[in-house]
Structure 1
Amino acid sequence: MPKNDSQLDDFFGFKPIGEKESNKESFREIAVKKINAARLELLPKILSKKERYLIFSLVLIILGSVIAVPFSSFYHFTKIAPDYGGSFSEGIVGEPRYINPLLSQTNDADRDLVSLMFSGILQYNKAGKLIPDLAKSYEISSDGLNYTVYLKENAKWHDGEPLTADDIIFTIQTAQNSDYGSAQRINWYGVELEKVNDYAVMFRLKNKYAQFLNSWTINILPKHLWQDIKPINFALSEFNLKPIGSGPYKFKKLKKDKLGRIQSYELESNKNFYDGRPYIGNVEIKFYNSEDEMIDAYNKNDVSSLSSLSSKNLDKIKFKKRLSIKNLKLPRYFAVFFNQNQSKILSDKNVRLAMNYGADKQEIIQKVLNNNGLSVNSPMVDGIIDIQSGAKPYEYDLEQAKKLLADAGWNLPGDNGILQKKDEKLSVTLTVPLLSDLMDTANIIKDQWSKIGIEVKITTLTTPELQQAIKERNLRGLKSYLNADYTCLFYSPLPSNLNFLPSPFLLGNKCQ
């Protein structure tokens, strides 16, 4: 080992004679580095296997700490938050016609778009409970006959005009006017309105009605745009397809095919929305003729989400792992309705009870709804409006059904096992809308009732034909579904001699 600086320099072949002192220092640093590097190269040979493993572990721990500390601090002192922007697309079966709160009740596509572009006084949250929407607060008088709502003063229409009490009153009075043909009319029959001030409205009822607040989910129309449109032109207005509302999204553009059919709607977020700008910047709704067509579009990545898909078609979907599938309990039930005015047979209670016991609801739920449904026993669907029906359940019982028919005098077997009473055959006609689920259900009912001696003749009608037949009371048995709008079912003040009785044995709540 060299004993002094000169020897050290000579050892590495350096000759710093005559050089400045600073140069000697730099040469010395280089030499030391070379010696240290040489020692490090020899280190693995000097250390034992155990020592090498220990040093390697320590190095990994140090490196891991160096990397982990910044990341740990980042996650500890920050949080994930949504950002504004992005886009979302969804497929829907059907086509919009009236994106109008007073005309949208019979079309899923219309209802979906209305919910995005319009606002109600109240709205339902994810748990199905009523919460404020346009309402800031409300009061109910001690006698339950007067309701006063106080509106949020920062709500505006998409064109910038303020939303006031005048818009609330105009919308409801328009719904009450039969000339406009709104299905919302029945919910507001007999209700009087009074403007308290620009942001307060009083509702006066003639009788107490515990479910009146549910009517407040009606979406509101802008008076300044609709007030001059006559009833005869109400359904023809351009605002039905290019609406101006007050909701979280506003109309941007629509796209039609060569035949004039609407293919898609593009919406953009309402930056002035009274409850805060939505995070998703753009929403595109695409429309398809069938579920198969909609599924094909999803499988080709044309849409990122699907709406109201029947469970029987889930197996056709690709990329299921990237989907979040939600099973929703819909406020809708399927039932057979009896018109006793048109059928003497159906006026006999024992016959109706026999049909009750002779229908296997579980078979219908299994085969038609793919087990995605519930058996119910009343038009009051349990759990929908916090009311339990308490109706008596009727289990499938062929022997009880046959006994009831015999008690009613239907005890003579005829052709194909169909029962007779003297010369009269036990035969009923079941009218069904041209919807696949309902037609499948009707065929199952036909087979089930044949086992107890009842002949079922099935008649199918299009929706317009069915509506006309109901209007003319020209039906005997109707297989259909209803949304759980109990105002229409039990609080209708309108005169009617329809006498359709929902059969409790075939009530089934559909789940998507």
Structure 2
Amino acid sequence: MAKNKWSRYLALPMLSFVMVLAACSGDDTSKEEGGEKEADGGQDLKNGGMYSIEDFDNVKTNEGEAIDGGTVTFGLVSDTVFEGTLNWNFYSGAPDAEILNWFDEGLLTWDENYVYTNDGAATYEVSEDGRTFTFKIGDNVNWHDGEPVTAEDWLFAHEVIGNPDYDGPRYNTDFTNIEGMEEYNSGKADTISGIEVIDEKTLSITYIESTPSLLTGSIWTYPLAKHIFGDMAVADISSSPEVREKPIGFGPFKVDSIVPGESVTLSKNEDYWRGEPKLDGVTIKVISSSTVVQELETGGVDLVSDFPVDQFPDNAEMSNVEYLGTIDRAYTYIGFKQGTWDAENNRVAYDPESKMGDVELRQAMWHAVDNAAVGEKFYNGLRWNATTLIPPSHPEFHDENNKGREYDPEVAKQLLEEAGYVDTDDDGFREDPEGNPLEINFVSMTGGDTAEPLAQYYVQSWEAVGLNVNLEMVEFNSFYDRVGNGGEDDPSVDVYQAAWGVGIDVDPSGLYGADTLYNFGRWENEENDRLLAEGRSEKAFDLAYRQEVYNEWQQLMVDEVPVFPTLYRALLAPVNKRVMNYAIGDGTGVYLSDLAVNAESAEVAE
């Protein structure tokens, strides 16, 4: 493959931040139609009804002079305890990832366009055919116990994830694209032929297919300390004390102590490869959505990374914080269960005859809900109507011309009628096409003041078109167990409301491929397989071609509705005014080791 196919990725021009914001702002038409009307479960609107992500900067304004040392308290906003799987190779929940960010990191960093750079803990070179990557880990990159991070550690992470006894969610097409990985996973080979340790700090990985995703997120960059985990059975690693109680990393801070599910105390890693952090330490503590405002006002926490946006209007003028904001790489969605997970073959077992297997039923349920109104009434415009499954955080590939399935309850009713869902006994609810009672079990997560009212809104919307939907609210960790995060699918779940934080790579295979555990709907489709493969193919080095493929994929998901997106999200992060050198979002060049404070104590609200 010619080198010029990589040129767009290796020498990308900076995208205009204004252009990103323009692509991600809300739907002006829906705002006008929403007006000042009040929705069930909604709140009185302030500031003329709407806020916009364009009102925020993503880099903290520095005030005063930084003091030597100091500590900060980070508020992890969660209405449940964190699970505590504190290793990148095994974690699955966002709360654990929030903690991991403080003490561990990937060996590669990326820029504002989500392209890997050579500014991280490791550098890389690419062969002319684009299939072999050679990585060099910095000589000053060491684990918190002083042992060097080695090429063997990086290989070991791949060996663990590819092991048949691995119980985490990472094994997918990113790994099966490595030469020899499938043979290793199936037991036909004792080693992964495509990975070679050249010396202590140098690793080579050869991939089966050259794809642009290799430079935008599909390389696994998280090593696993072989000197700690190498003698453990793979099945025991995720539950070991070395993951749960005394996790290790090579990031700017190191874990001193953990109160399970509640807090983590960290001190600075003086040997950090970017240089000694400016702060002496960090305390992470779980705070609920109902107490986050009080914690911020009193200085109980200095910063939170994901403030509940429904609480922003009443607290926009909090005097002791500065609100940072960016477009979140995430969306909320409604998913439909259409099968189970086949653990033996590591793929979905799709059942088109399942209760939610009727595409007209799924299409109707999307048409029945008014997500533009939800964004306005519950979130004052800081979450907005989602149309496709590639969010506007990836403006090159989000199809802003695709409007998804617009709110139209009459279309929903017509679809149901034509598909044979008719109310035959005049009880107000439709029976299925065979005339049997249709009850749909809907599971949603607890958390915050809006969680249950929002879920009830969806139930009411579906009832308005004649569907009998039973709601169950479940706490975070139990929720993901129920929908299949451990490979066991609860047969009582038909429909669920969840959220995805998407990776830096636009490739959606890790969420919707037939061989990924995160395909919680357990849906499979030949056209989906084809388009996902095309998006990762060598032809996809042509930007226009890749855009066309992902536009087709976005439309396929609108047509088939294995899930449907509900809301895109603004990420708000209030930061105490004493905090310096802090930013949110990608490619800012501001790192946690830069974090500093201008006073010993947090400023308190007036």
Shorter-normalised TM range = 0.7 to 0.9
Match of 2:489 among 454, 472, 495: 472
Structure with higher Rg: it is: 1
Kindly state the Cα deviation for residue 255 of structure 1 after the two structures are TM-superposed: 6.0
2:411 aligns to what? 400
Is 1:488 aligned to residue 498 of structure 2?
Answer: no
The residue correspondences of 1:303-322 to structure 2 (distance < 5 A) are 303-314=301-312, 320-322=318-320
The residue correspondences of 1:65-144 to structure 2 (distance < 5 A) are 84-93=68-77, 94-95=81-82, 97-108=84-95, 110-125=96-111, 128-132=114-118, 134-144=120-130
| CA deviation string 1:208-230 (max 9, x = no partner) | 44323414464333222221233
1:336 aligns to what? 334
Match of 1:210 among 209, 212, 220: 212
Kindly state the Cα deviation for residue 445 of structure 1 after the two structures are TM-superposed: 1.5
| CA deviation string 1:299-329 (max 9, x = no partner) | 3322222332202233675982221112233
Kindly state the Cα deviation for residue 133 of structure 1 after the two structures are TM-superposed: 5.5
Note if contact 1:269-1:281 (Cα within 8 Å) is conserved in structure 2. Answer: yes
| Cα separation, partners in 2 of 1:406 and 1:493, compared to 1, 3 Å | closer
Kindly state the Cα deviation for residue 278 of structure 1 after the two structures are TM-superposed: 2.1
The residue correspondences of 1:138-177 to structure 2 (distance < 5 A) are 138-177=124-163
What secondary structure sits across from 1:364 in the alignment? helix
| Cα separation, partners in 2 of 1:358 and 1:96, compared to 1, 3 Å | closer
| Cα separation, partners in 2 of 1:162 and 1:277, compared to 1, 3 Å | same
Note if contact 1:357-1:394 (Cα within 8 Å) is conserved in structure 2. Answer: yes
| CA deviation string 1:160-212 (max 9, x = no partner) | 22222112111222222242322222342352321122222111222344323
Is 1:428 aligned to residue 444 of structure 2?
Answer: no
Structure 1: stretches of 5+ with no match in the other structure: 1-79
Note if contact 1:136-1:152 (Cα within 8 Å) is conserved in structure 2. Answer: yes
Is 1:193 aligned to residue 177 of structure 2?
Answer: no
Greater share of residues in helix: 1
Root-mean-square deviation over aligned CA pairs: 3.3
Equivalent AA in structure 2 for residue 472 of structure 1? D
Note if contact 1:431-1:459 (Cα within 8 Å) is conserved in structure 2. Answer: yes
Equivalent AA in structure 2 for residue 91 of structure 1? G
| Structure with more contact order per residue of length (Cα contacts < 8 Å, sep ≥ 6) | 2
| Cα separation, partners in 2 of 1:468 and 1:506, compared to 1, 3 Å | closer
Note if contact 1:269-1:278 (Cα within 8 Å) is conserved in structure 2. Answer: yes
What secondary structure sits across from 1:447 in the alignment? helix
What secondary structure sits across from 1:480 in the alignment? strand
Kindly state the Cα deviation for residue 105 of structure 1 after the two structures are TM-superposed: 2.9
Note if contact 2:336-2:563 (Cα within 8 Å) is conserved in structure 1. Answer: no
Note if contact 1:368-1:440 (Cα within 8 Å) is conserved in structure 2. Answer: no
Equivalent AA in structure 1 for residue 444 of structure 2? V
What secondary structure sits across from 2:384 in the alignment? strand
Equivalent AA in structure 1 for residue 284 of structure 2? I
| Cα separation, partners in 2 of 1:225 and 1:319, compared to 1, 3 Å | farther
Equivalent AA in structure 1 for residue 283 of structure 2? E
| Cα separation, partners in 2 of 1:378 and 1:504, compared to 1, 3 Å | farther
| Cα separation, partners in 2 of 1:285 and 1:133, compared to 1, 3 Å | farther
| Separation in 1, partners of 2:266, 2:395 | 32
The residue correspondences of 1:216-295 to structure 2 (distance < 5 A) are 216=219, 218-240=221-243, 241-251=245-255, 253-254=256-257, 256=259, 261=260, 263-288=262-287, 290-295=288-293
Note if contact 2:375-2:381 (Cα within 8 Å) is conserved in structure 1. Answer: yes
1:326 aligns to what? 324
Q: Relative to structure 2, which stretch is displaced further, 322-331 or 390-399?
A: 390-399
TM-score (norm 2): 0.62
| Separation in 2, partners of 1:287, 1:229 | 31
Note if contact 2:335-2:564 (Cα within 8 Å) is conserved in structure 1. Answer: no
What secondary structure sits across from 1:211 in the alignment? helix
| Separation in 1, partners of 2:112, 2:516 | 34
Note if contact 2:253-2:266 (Cα within 8 Å) is conserved in structure 1. Answer: yes
2:58 aligns to what? none
| Cα separation, partners in 2 of 1:148 and 1:83, compared to 1, 3 Å | farther
Note if contact 2:155-2:223 (Cα within 8 Å) is conserved in structure 1. Answer: no
| CA deviation string 1:217-270 (max 9, x = no partner) | 64333222221233343234333232332111223x3264xxxx4654332222
Match of 1:350 among 360, 365, 371: 360
2:523 aligns to what? 499
The residue correspondences of 1:362-401 to structure 2 (distance < 5 A) are 362-384=372-394, 386-389=396-399, 391-401=402-412
Note if contact 2:369-2:458 (Cα within 8 Å) is conserved in structure 1. Answer: yes
Number of residues of Structure 1 aligned to a counterpart in Structure 2: 426
| Separation in 2, partners of 1:285, 1:312 | 23
1:48 aligns to what? none
Kindly state the Cα deviation for residue 370 of structure 1 after the two structures are TM-superposed: 3.9
What secondary structure sits across from 2:362 in the alignment? helix
Kindly state the Cα deviation for residue 360 of structure 1 after the two structures are TM-superposed: 0.9
| Separation in 1, partners of 2:254, 2:480 | 35
Equivalent AA in structure 2 for residue 247 of structure 1? G
| Separation in 2, partners of 1:358, 1:137 | 50
Structure 2: stretches of 5+ with no match in the other structure: 1-63, 179-193, 339-350, 525-559, 572-606
